[in-house]
A and B are shown apart, each in its own frame.
Chain A
Amino acid sequence: MFRRVWEEWKNKTLTSRQQRGSQTDQQASNKSPLSLHLQENLDTIKQLLGNPQDLIIRPFLIDNSGRACAVACIDGLVDTDLVHDKVVKHIQLLMSPAGKAIPASDEDIMTFMLDEVLSIIEVKTGSTMEEVLDAMLVGDTAFFVDGSNKTILIDSRGWETRGIEEPVSEGLVRGPRDGFNENIRDNTVRIRRRVRDPKLRFDATHVGQRSKSDLIIAYIEDIANPNIVGEIKRRIATIDIDQVEESGFIEQWIEDNFLSPFPQVQYTERPDKVASGLFQGRVAIILDGTPIVLLAPVTMGVLLHSPEDFYERWMVGSLARLLRYVASFLAIFSPALYIALVTFHPGLIPSDLAFSIAATRDGVPFPAVVESLIMVTTMELLQEAGLRLPKPIGQTVGIVGGLVIGEAAVSAGIVSPVMVIVVAITAIASFAIPSYNLAIAFRMIRFGAMFAAAMFGLYGVVLAFILMVTHLINLTSIGVPYLTPLAPQLVSDWKDYILRAPVTFFKKRPDMLQTKDKTRMKAGKSQ
């Protein structure tokens, strides 16, 4: 019902947004053309940008012809050495092939410059002020000549970026060490280096009305299902925000169900993960300015996989996966099970253990629910505090937290030692989940399960489980059911699910993504 109300509301806003969009289009079509006078153009640039301190305008003369020209760029965004060596110097000294005269006419001079003088790979011409500003703001240099209402936009982008470092949030024992960084070009290079396939597509677009961030939708054309690619593109085209700082904005805009605690898009800063996703037929969304690349569609199973499962031998990989499924269960349900067993069903615990638990709980003044809530909340606090702090202080938090949780709380009689064990198991289990966003989802559900257990014991826990599974079964990610290949059952995909079969078994790509090219081995035979 809420979904329906939401849909109606969304449709309304969408239509109004489209109307607004068409208005801006009209405005954009009224582009102001460039003037014939050099000084006028330069003044307009100054005025439109508010004459900022980092604007460089360098007027000079072409060789000895006496014709005035100028370059304009933004300091810091451009490689100044390149502009100096290949643009200003060349034109001032006109190191063109000997014997050619500088054309006098206004049209010819631009072609002459492009063809003969500027030794730079990427150049284009522009004729409106909007084009000039857009280009300058991404790091291009604009070149004007007096008497011409055209401009040459020279790609001179060169700013300081962070080097390629090891991914912080996704460390592996075995596997490549490089991670993405904030520069979209570096990131596409990392992917191209791994996918040397002419069918690799980088469809570029911009998002953010004001931030105009570069966004690239990457997929392999003859593998990815066109419906999925089309749907992702359609959803990205609807994005209408003024600034996009991080790919999280994109994720939240294109996800299927915003009421679900579960992530419906995967994120990673590992190029190898993206490359393997592309080969499976998934789509990567790369945004400029963030090392986090999105991968969609995603299923629960994929979120519990780690690239290492494939780098290690299959037995190791399978066991690690099994362990992760157990960890997921523990991360969600262990405090709830503790509450249920201690409060409602002490008879289920073996008698000796039940007695010793009862003995340790003897001095504890709270019911098991309150005890668990105190401990689990403390654990969450510690986790949250530890995230933000610089490393040296982080250790202090760890020690203080460890002491408080482990020792002091027990000896002060606030919680029982068994509870400490339960919380420790829960925390460790949630750290064992490879996707941080899935682990957060589990952390949220944990509280729900605890309340259910506090009210109804084991019955409540099982109801919570059923509720969660019912939700998961209804959930989709870009139209792909979230629990595939379990429900709907796609038995052929089970070899890469809870267990990981030996690599030689993977003759086909996952069925769940309905890829165009289905074969992985002996390519071309059954295409």
Chain B
Amino acid sequence: MNTLPYADQKIGQKEMVFIVANIVIGVGILTFPRTLAEKTGSIDGWISVLISGLFASVVGWLLGKLASRFPAHTFFEYTSLIVTRPVARVITFLVGVYFMLFVSFEVRALGNIAKQYLFTNTPVEMITLAFLLIVQYAVAGSRMALLRLNMLFFPIVLLIIFFVQLYTVQILELDNIRPLFTTGLGALLLGSKEVNLSFSGYEVVLFYTLLMARAQDAPKAVVKGLLIPIFLYLTIYIFVIGVFSTDVVKNLTYPTIELAKEVEVPGGFIERMESLFFTIWIMTIFNSCTVFFDLAIFNLGSIFRKVRKITWILVISPLVYMISLWPQNLVQFFSLGDQLVYFGIFITYLVPLLLLLIAKWRGVRGDE
């Protein structure tokens, strides 16, 4: 029931930019300085960030191209146009499963970090359950509302990062940053592979272009959306290394949160910023989770049309919850994350790029 034209179900380029940026910024930004420092061993990791950022932008642009070829089709529909229906069914199903697993991963990550920084006594099962219930509530609402939620929380998240960096400038030590350009190309590339994992999320463009008023803006929107996280990753890496030095960063589980720990607000108005930082960070993790959850339902729902949305939510949620409790410790958890990302790279980057090639070759195009 929408009486007004602006309340209709379309998003503009600006919205797409923010959605992409907000989804890429999730759990990855909290951990990537550690893996990057391990691989590159120096401040030069910023070059890796740039390389992987460039790579992500190119892939994102191509994905945007693919999606904007079919402005009025869902992922399943255009995949079946390009490569027959049964194949499309398999691909879409895998994509749905991937997003479902990703929700599990994010939920568990949130539980782990909350346990470490906010409360040590509360069991992780309860932390994740409470979070998952709210994610469920958000997903049960309209898809448009979900995307608007991204727009709403994103400025708050940017603000808190800006705040943390503002107050850590004074403890930045130039000695930690020097010397520059000491890492070999091989290490840099290895590092950029690690950062790449933290950039995942921009594949949403494959699915939400359908909602855009002008689908041809999709490739531009992805690249613009990626610029924000690239910039944030660059500055955060420099800040983290500058404050802690490379050797320390290698041993910090969540270097970015530790950076917030160093913040000293003048006047002692508030202490232990990291708790507050993470509390606000929950909003962006929530955004990523809802969007991934929604995409899982969107894709599975596009294969099985008869099943209602609410049924999907009720079926998927227990699965997500159980998978999220699977890893017994941090090591298992991070290795699960890595495997998941490789699966994701295959199913949401490689396969769609192949699809784009086939579509070009066969000349398949969606009608307006």
Contacts and interface: CB of A to CB of B under 8 A. Distances in A.
Contacts of B5: 514
Given A469-B149, A479-B3, A479-B7, A459 B127 contact: yes
Interface string B127-166: 1001100100110111001001101110000000000000
Contacts of A350: 268-271
B271 A349 contact: yes
Contacts of B134: 463, 466-467, 470
B87 interface: no
Contacts of B7: 476, 479-481, 488
A470 B139 CA distance: 10
A463 B130 contact: yes
Contacts of B122: 456
Interface in B226-277: 268-272, 275-276
B148 A459 contact: no
B118 A345 contact: yes
A474 interface: yes
A511 B6 CA distance: 9
B148 A488 contact: yes
Contacts of A479: 1-4, 7
Interface in A169-222: none
B6 A488 contact: yes
Interface in A6-20: none
B19 to A, nearest CB: 13
Contacts of B131: 463
A276 interface: no
Nearest to B309: A1
Interface stretch (A23-31, A73-81, A223-231, A311-319): A223-231
B114 interface: yes
A450 to B, nearest CB: 15
Contacts of A347: 271-272, 275
Given A347-B272, A351-B271, A489-B151, A460 B4 contact: no
B334 interface: no
Interface residues of B, number: 41
Contacts of B14: 489
Given A349-B271, A456-B127, A488-B148, A470 B118 contact: no
A331 to B, nearest CB: 20
Interface string A460-478: 1111001101110110101
A490 B126 CA distance: 39
Contacts of B90: none
A332 interface: no
A474 B119 CA distance: 31
A259 interface: no
B138 A470 contact: yes
A486 interface: yes
A348 B4 contact: no
Contacts of A458: 118, 275-276, 279
Contacts of A348: 270-272, 275-276
Contacts of A463: 130-131, 134, 282
Contact of B137 (A467, A478, A513): A467
A431 interface: no
A213 B348 CA distance: 62
Nearest to A511: B6
Interface string A478-515: 11110100111110000000000000000000011110
Contacts of B358: none
B310 interface: yes
Contacts of B151: 487, 489
Contacts of B119: 344, 456-457, 459
Q: Counting chain A CB atoms within 10 Å of each CB, which of B2, B151, B153, B271 scores highest?
A: B271
A143 to B, nearest CB: 47
Interface in B167-219: none
Given A1-B310, A462-B283, A225 B149 contact: no
The secondary structure that dominates the A interface is: helix
Q: Counting chain A CB atoms within 10 Å of each CB, which of B4, B142, B271 scores highest?
A: B4
B292 interface: no
Contacts of B276: 348, 458
B83 interface: no
A2 to B, nearest CB: 10
Contacts of B105: none
Contacts of A478: 3
B4 A225 contact: yes
Q: Counting chain B CB atoms within 10 Å of each CB, which of A1, A344, A461, A474 scores highest?
A: A474
B315 to A, nearest CB: 13
Nearest to A1: B310
Contact of B282 (A351, A462, A488, A489): A462
Nearest to A490: B6
Contacts of A474: 141-142, 145
A293 B152 CA distance: 32
Nearest to B269: A350
B331 to A, nearest CB: 25
B4 A466 contact: no
A348 B1 CA distance: 45
Q: Counting chain A CB atoms within 10 Å of each CB, which of B140, B148, B283, B286 scores highest?
A: B148
Interface string A345-364: 10111111000000000000
Given A348-B275, A487-B149, A227 B4 contact: yes
A260 B169 CA distance: 45
B350 interface: no
A456 B269 CA distance: 23
Interface in B280-324: 280, 282-283, 286, 310
A347 to B, nearest CB: 5
Contacts of B126: 456
A345 B272 contact: yes
Contacts of A469: 149, 152-153
Interface of A: 1, 4, 225, 227-228, 231, 256, 344-345, 347-352, 455-463, 466-467, 469-471, 473-474, 476, 478-481, 483, 486-490, 511-514
30 contacts: A1-B140, A1-B310, A4-B310, A227-B3, A227-B4, A231-B1, A344-B119, A347-B271, A348-B270, A350-B269, A351-B268, A352-B268, A456-B130, A458-B276, A458-B279, A459-B119, A460-B130, A462-B279, A466-B282, A466-B283, A466-B286, A470-B141, A470-B145, A473-B148, A474-B141, A476-B1, A479-B2, A488-B6, A512-B6, A514-B6
For the complex of A and B, the 5 pairs showing the least CB-CB separation, nearest first, are A479-B3, A487-B148, A474-B141, A227-B3, A350-B268
Given A471-B137, A481-B148, 6 more contacts: A4-B310, A348-B271, A350-B268, A459-B119, A476-B7, A479-B3
